Amino acid sequence: MILHCYLHLYYSPMIHQPYKLDVFSIKDMEQKDKTRIKIKDLLQSHPDGLTIADLMRKTGLARHTVLARLHTFIGQGHVNVRKINMAKLHYWNAQTDEPKEKKEEKPIELKPLKEEHITHNREKSKPEEPFIDMAKIKEEIGKELQKGTVNQEQAQVKEQRAHVSHTVNRSKHKTGRKEDEFIKTEVPGFDQLFDQGIPKGSAVLVAGGAGSGKTLLLLEILKNHASKGHKCLYMSFEESEDRLIHHMEDFGWNVRDLIKKGNLLIKKFNPFEITRSVDALLMKAKGELLIDIEPIIFPKDFKPDIIVVDSLTAIASAFTDKEDSYRIYIEQLFTFFQGIDATSFLITETKQIPTVFSQTGVEEFLADGVIVLYNIRKGNIRENAIEVLKLRGANHQKKIVAMQITNEGIIVYPEQEVFGGIDDGENK
């Protein structure tokens, strides 16, 4: 299986000779008209707007071609642009279309409202669920204080968060997905942070600082699924295959049997080879609209269900001063994983207490979810914690909870919230 990525090049040599209208020019004009109509139809059929990447994917056109047509439409007032988060959405301005003949509107006949037409439903307007019982919550927190499971500061925070937690729990709704459309991590305690699990086919960023447990968490998830017969791939851009295998064996996991059965594949990739391939093709294909890149090669008989990329930080370091090429490569990587319907986890290195969860921002925008791991220092002790920051298409708990790295792997404590140390300067 081969990953085909497309780099879109813009090449416009200066023309010094008088312009001549020949057969090729006529064909170009006809092609431009077809392209213009295609983009117009797409935008009109998507009232919520489309991104540049959406238009490229749906039309198969190069980036500069899409931009050129959009620029014309925007100048004519046919297309408006609005920004949502980091995405620029382009949508058709229906008001500029040619006005249709207005039909003669008949005046609306208003009839007086009579008492018998009014239905009184005041008795049915009671809330379905009772209001928050603060007395009961304070009583429960008091019991926790007596047992010593929380201190005074934690008890105060829990009481302050009670209203927010109550509102969030009442507003939760079912996603409409079936149970088999989600995957479980099988990591002890971690799945309790999700209502149903992680939607299949999602791309999830796993962010955190050094020593926070990112690699171990994802190796454990792969081990759990490979043991169930799922095809799992670990793409390492830093560690060797042998080192990762030995690391897994340190926790008593029977990794080599999973590899022999063909359920687990651990493969090392060189990020600088990807950069060199991209550079070589850029130099070779000046003036071409599409460039074919094959940076990642899978065995033909291996179609992974779950993929781990370790890490986006290593890939980004190979694209130093080539941010545009990196963005395109990452975009195509996400698109490829989506195309084969694989659930992917992509590691990104951050500060110990991160505020930014990706290298350029495009990764966070493309990802369906973000899981953050923390390595928090409290005095002379460091504690691990984990949080599901966002996950599109799934309900999840919105809190930072304790996590422990044991001799057998990771254990998450979903009921043990971490309150202090998250925002202090020592953890930066």
**What per-residue confidence (pLDDT) applies to 59?**
82
Hey, what CATH topology would domain 26-96 get?
Arc Repressor Mutant, subunit A (1.10.10)
DSSP annotation of 107: P
Instruction: Evaluate whether 5 touches 295 at the Cβ level (below 8 Å).
Output: yes
**What per-residue confidence (pLDDT) applies to 70?**
80
Domain ranges of the chain: 26-96, 179-427
Which sign, positive or negative, has the C-alpha torsion 183, 370, 153, 172?
A: negative
Which of 284, 222, 212 minimizes the C-alpha distance to 248?
222
**Any bridge partners for residue 348, and if so which?**
207
Provide the H-helix boundaries in 227-270. 241-249, 255-260
**Any bridge partners for residue 20, and if so which?**
none
**What per-residue confidence (pLDDT) applies to 40?**
83
Instruction: Evaluate whether 63 touches 52 at the Cβ level (below 8 Å).
Output: yes
**What per-residue confidence (pLDDT) applies to 67?**
78
Please give the backbone phi and psi of residue 71, each rounded to the nearest 5 degrees, phi first: -60, -40
Instruction: Evaluate whether 353 touches 374 at the Cβ level (below 8 Å).
Output: yes
**What per-residue confidence (pLDDT) applies to 17?**
43
**What per-residue confidence (pLDDT) applies to 96?**
61
Rounded to two decimals, the pTM is: 0.60
Measured CA distances, 93 to 43, 291, 336, 357, 410 (Å): 9, 33, 32, 35, 52
Instruction: Evaluate whether 233 touches 323 at the Cβ level (below 8 Å).
Output: no
Low-confidence spans in the chain with pLDDT less than 70: 1-33, 83-87, 95-131, 149-150, 153-154, 156-177, 278, 281-297, 420-428
**For residues 285 and 86, what is the distance between their CA atoms, to the nearest angstrom?**
31
**What per-residue confidence (pLDDT) applies to 187?**
97
Q: What is the CATH number of domain 179-427?
A: 3.40.50.300
**What per-residue confidence (pLDDT) applies to 58?**
82
The H or E element that residue 106 is part of is none
Residues in the chain: 428
**For residues 55 and 44, what is the distance between their CA atoms, to the nearest angstrom?**
12
